[in-house]
Amino acid sequence: MTNLTRADFETLDKNDTLAPLRDQFSLAQDLIYLDGNSLGVLPKATAAHVQQVITQQWGVDLIRSWNCNQWMQKPAQLGDKIGQLIGAEAGQVLACDTTSINIFKLAAAAVKMRPGRSKLITETGNFATDLYLLQGLAKLLGDQVQVVALPREQVLDAIDDDTALVLLTHVHFKTGAMWDMPAVTQQVQQHGALMMWDLCHSVGAMPIHLDRVNADLAVGCTYKYLNGGPGSPAFVYVAKRLQAEFEQPLTGWLGHAKPFDFNDEYQGANGIQQAMCGTPPVLANAALEVALDVMLQADLNQVRQKSSHMGDLFIQLVQQRCPWFQLSSPVDKAIRGSQVSLVHDQGYAIIQALIERNIIGDFRAPDHLRFGFTPLYLRYVDLWDTVDALVDIMTHDLWKQPKFLAKQAVT
Amino acid sequence: MTNLTRADFETLDKNDTLAPLRDQFSLAQDLIYLDGNSLGVLPKATAAHVQQVITQQWGVDLIRSWNCNQWMQKPAQLGDKIGQLIGAEAGQVLACDTTSINIFKLAAAAVKMRPGRSKLITETGNFATDLYLLQGLAKLLGDQVQVVALPREQVLDAIDDDTALVLLTHVHFKTGAMWDMPAVTQQVQQHGALMMWDLCHSVGAMPIHLDRVNADLAVGCTYKYLNGGPGSPAFVYVAKRLQAEFEQPLTGWLGHAKPFDFNDEYQGANGIQQAMCGTPPVLANAALEVALDVMLQADLNQVRQKSSHMGDLFIQLVQQRCPWFQLSSPVDKAIRGSQVSLVHDQGYAIIQALIERNIIGDFRAPDHLRFGFTPLYLRYVDLWDTVDALVDIMTHDLWKQPKFLAKQAVT
């Protein structure tokens, strides 16, 4: 393997067909942002659109906007746009609530659809909220179900005919390791269980084909690779073939078949609408819509190709120049998401030292330095420059300054 | 009772100490907006602040904003501001999720705090989502609890030692009828049950003293009298003395004692923080903060006084000039919220005819014309002009035009 030079990365940028998309994002030229897998960058068109929704739709049209500006229809409309990004035909996705709440809805519905089965299987070290919501549900239901959380390599063997649901995050938040979605889905279904995919760390970073893999249930967030904005609405997917028996317990008025009849008895709407609960967040939906429209301009196969290539290059650079780190992500791009994580027991301080140089990656306790590759706005030279900075910081022990060592909460 | 004239209303406006607050809202001069009890009006400062949060905090500060711009702290900070409006000392209120979801959290927690008790009591004709969420919870818990929904006048007598929770909306969404909060709370507690107040239609319209009445639990929304914006975050109140035993089942990562440790086992945070679930909606929180800061400038006793007076005057005018309508709201201002509702079987068409004249009230199926009085931006002359328009519309049967009769969903 020949040694790479910065010129190689400049050439890659020149030939990058996705490069023009960077212009649609508001991102300082001197900033290297490798944290789009935690909070995506602001699309340039967002501010003006949200402003219009605030000043005209809310300020002038007021209450009429629920109809005339289709505020009420947005969760389904945005859901269908997200559907295009995850291989879901219309009518199976809603933009609503948070990933956490949507996990609860789907897990509770899964328990109901698989009566008599007691296991909710997931992986230890999964993103914490996935574990916690299953635990919250199990506790609420008493002895009816139990959470079985196992190390990654033991998960598949544990699936049996007593399994109601398997919940896995498609791409692991810390390591970037990716599950084989078609194979796992099939294996879960062979045991008569339901599979829920958490797509938080893969949606927008690669093509996903929920319908094609015969998926059951999925959730995900929109503020990472989708650039919907901080705390933007999450989404929920329920396969068409399950919708007739799908019943989730957060039976808010907007999941009712006829919400404006104000009947005393809940009667769930048909289809994915039953996954709705309360009143939709209009301003957040406005920001999300702009972001999805940008995302939909990109070919997700190209996105995946660039992201995988970036990961390969970053790993190659680290292996050539950074002996201080252990690689936590898979080397094989076929099972790696759109991030590369390095392990170092002083990871926090090292990330802080990078941030001071305007290179933003993030830290995940206790020891992960996480670098996300977001092909819509990341340049190949950013990878070179990041590793260059890392080499400098490590060679000269620059991270040992007290200001870098002092810990505070980082998201 | 002497007949009122428009001049009387003009005089009231001149002497109205709250009148200057109208300048802080973006509201067309020729619009009479009597639907602030459904969607509050846009504060003038909102657009610029949200813009700043988008372009600077998100666009430039990016992921660092969770700390440097206190995005993570907003739910508690906004909660404490709401607390000032509902008589709750700091540390008992969070701004989060939707009213629907918060009802579920608190109802589930109440069942757990009152083991062995089977009744969740509420009122038929309550706002639908309140009924639906209790039904969703009861269904999820199997035979453990049942929802007992009774006509308003039978609710109090039904409370017994088998009652775990009573959920009532402080001010009724259709009629504006108001419960006696101290007396009802006391009666519920005398039976060892817990009381949950839904404050959607009272918060911001009157002083509320949750701590003083020894309240247990409360929820409410912020997009009505609080002007937080369409679909703005709801809030949740848990009395300090209950927080040690409070456990809600939507155990998302941000309700964890140490969310950034990413432990596999959920361990609830101390205090009100355990009511948090997923990632907070930053843009919506920004709009809400501006609105709360406007609201906090008003003396809620004055707000209540003006609102009650407006209701009295509106009723007087209707009684004098509008024989076509039946009054659905209490005449006694002591038990009436900040709205007056009229009943007419052609209510929908009549409201549409008013809207064409730039007078916005709203319709609640099957026959309620609902007029909300929002003292921060409503003028006394608006009441006169509204009744004047109603008289004209009714006298000349103007509502019978086909365009007014055609129904569509109205929120």
Q: Residue A3: which pLDDT band, with cuts at 50, 70 and 90?
A: confident
**Residue of A247, A251, A351, A370 to mutate when probing chain B, most B C-beta within 10 A:** A251
Say if B406 is an interface residue toward chain A (CB within 8 Å). Answer: no
- Average pLDDT (A205-223) is 98
Of A311-325, A394-408, B37-51, least confident by mean pLDDT is A394-408
* Residue B356, phi then psi, degrees to nearest 5: -60, -25
Q: Tell me the Ramachandran region of residue B271: left when phi exceeds 0, alpha when psi lies from -120 to 50, beta otherwise.
A: left
Radius of gyration of the CA atoms of chain A, in A: 22
* Residues counted in chain B: 411
Amino acid identity, position A317: L
Contact partners, residue B18, CB within 8 Å, separation at least 6: B298, B302, B303, B306, B375, B376
- Average pLDDT (B129-157) is 97
Given a cut of 80, whether residue A248 has pLDDT beyond it is yes
Q: What is the CATH class of A48-295?
A: alpha beta
User: How do beta strands A368-372 and A339-343 pair?
Assistant: antiparallel
User: How do beta strands A163-169 and A362-364 pair?
Assistant: unpaired
- Average pLDDT (B274-292) is 98
Alpha carbon A193 to its chain's center: 24
Q: What is the pLDDT of residue A410?
A: 45
**Which of B104, B127, B173, B246 is the catalytic position?**
B127
Beta strand ranges found along B7-118 (DSSP E): 32-33, 93-95
B224 is catalytic: yes
pLDDT in tens, B238-249: 999 999 999 999
Tokens standing for A295? 């995302």
Contact A47 B51 (CB under 8 A): yes
- Which residue, chain included where needed, has tokens 């929820």? B219
Q: Residue A406: which pLDDT band, with cuts at 50, 70 and 90?
A: confident
- Which residue, chain included where needed, has tokens 């969760």? A75
Given a cut of 60, whether residue B207 has pLDDT beyond it is yes
Residues 52-111 of A with CB under 8 A from B: 54-55, 58-60, 62-67, 71-72, 97-101, 104, 108
Q: Measured between alpha carbons, how far apart are the two ends of chain B, in Å?
A: 36
Say if A150 is an interface residue toward chain B (CB within 8 Å). Answer: no
- Average pLDDT (B69-78) is 98
- Average pLDDT (A5-33) is 97
- Average pLDDT (B95-116) is 98
**Whole-complex ipTM:** 0.97
Among residues B32, B33, B12, B48, the alpha carbon closest in space to that of B293 is found at B48
Domain extent listing, chain B? 6-30+299-405, 48-295
* Residue A125, phi then psi, degrees to nearest 5: 80, 5
Tokens standing for A285? 């939906």
Among residues B260, B213, B252, the alpha carbon closest in space to that of A410 is found at B260
- Which residue, chain included where needed, has tokens 């209510």? B347
Say if B141 is an interface residue toward chain A (CB within 8 Å). Answer: yes
pLDDT in tens, B184-200: 999 999 999 999 999 99
Contact B281 A232 (CB under 8 A): yes
* Residue B152, phi then psi, degrees to nearest 5: -45, -45
The size of the A-B interface in CB pairs under 8 A is 288
Q: Residue A407: which pLDDT band, with cuts at 50, 70 and 90?
A: confident
Residue B104 neighbours by CB distance under 10 Å: 31
Say if B140 is an interface residue toward chain A (CB within 8 Å). Answer: yes
Contact B59 A39 (CB under 8 A): no
Say if B249 is an interface residue toward chain A (CB within 8 Å). Answer: yes
- Decide: A297 and A270 in contact? Cβ < 8 Å: no
Q: Cis (ω within 30 of 0) for the bond into A20?
A: no
- Which residue, chain included where needed, has tokens 């009924």? B131
Cα separation, B366 vs A316, in Å, equals 68
- Nearest-by-CA chain A residue for B72: A411
Cα separation, A266 vs A277, in Å, equals 12
Cα separation, B246 vs B234, in Å, equals 19
* Residues counted in chain A: 411
Question: Please, is B187 exposed, middle or buried when counting C-beta atoms within 10 Å of its C-beta (0-12, 13-18, 19+)?
Answer: middle
Q: Is A216 helix (H, G, I), strand (E, B) or coil?
A: coil
Contact partners, residue B128, CB within 8 Å, separation at least 6: A253, A256, A259, A262, A263, A264
Cα separation, A386 vs A381, in Å, equals 8
Q: Tell me the Ramachandran region of residue B358: left when phi exceeds 0, alpha when psi lies from -120 to 50, beta otherwise.
A: left
Say if B282 is an interface residue toward chain A (CB within 8 Å). Answer: yes
- Decide: A373 and A318 in contact? Cβ < 8 Å: no
* Residue A306, phi then psi, degrees to nearest 5: -65, -45
**CATH for B6-30+299-405, options being 3.40.462.20, 3.90.1150.10, 3.40.50.20, 3.30.450.40:** 3.90.1150.10
pLDDT in tens, B305-360: 999 999 999 999 999 999 999 999 999 999 999 999 999 999 999 999 999 999 99
Q: What is the pLDDT of residue B411?
A: 45
Given a cut of 70, whether residue A357 has pLDDT beyond it is yes
Cα separation, A378 vs A22, in Å, equals 7
- Which residue, chain included where needed, has tokens 């389904």? A76
Output DSSP code: residue B146: E
Given a cut of 90, whether residue B2 has pLDDT beyond it is no
Quote the percentage of chain A above a pLDDT of 90. 97
Contact partners, residue B48, CB within 8 Å, separation at least 6: none
Measured CA angle at B292 (ends A95, A55), to 5 deg = 60
**CATH for A6-30+300-405, options being 3.30.450.40, 3.90.1150.10, 3.40.50.720, 3.40.50.2300:** 3.90.1150.10
Q: What average pLDDT is seen over chain B? A: 96
Among residues B234, B211, B206, the alpha carbon closest in space to that of B79 is found at B234
Given a cut of 50, whether residue B409 has pLDDT beyond it is no
Given a cut of 80, whether residue B377 has pLDDT beyond it is yes
Quote the percentage of chain B above a pLDDT of 70. 99
- Decide: A225 and A37 in contact? Cβ < 8 Å: yes
- Nearest-by-CA chain B residue for A36: B63
- Which residue, chain included where needed, has tokens 């709401």? B82
pLDDT in tens, A253-284: 999 999 999 999 999 999 999 999 999 999 99
Among residues B259, A160, A174, A140, the alpha carbon closest in space to that of A148 is found at A160
Cα separation, B72 vs B281, in Å, equals 10
CA dihedral B140, B142, B145, B146 (to 10 degrees): 90
Strand partners, A370: A341, A362
Q: Residue A1: which pLDDT band, with cuts at 50, 70 and 90?
A: low
Say if B120 is an interface residue toward chain A (CB within 8 Å). Answer: no
Question: Please, is A111 exposed, middle or buried when counting C-beta atoms within 10 Å of its C-beta (0-12, 13-18, 19+)?
Answer: buried
Query: Which of A46, A282, A287 lies closest to B229 in CB terms?
Result: A282
Given a cut of 50, whether residue A411 has pLDDT beyond it is no
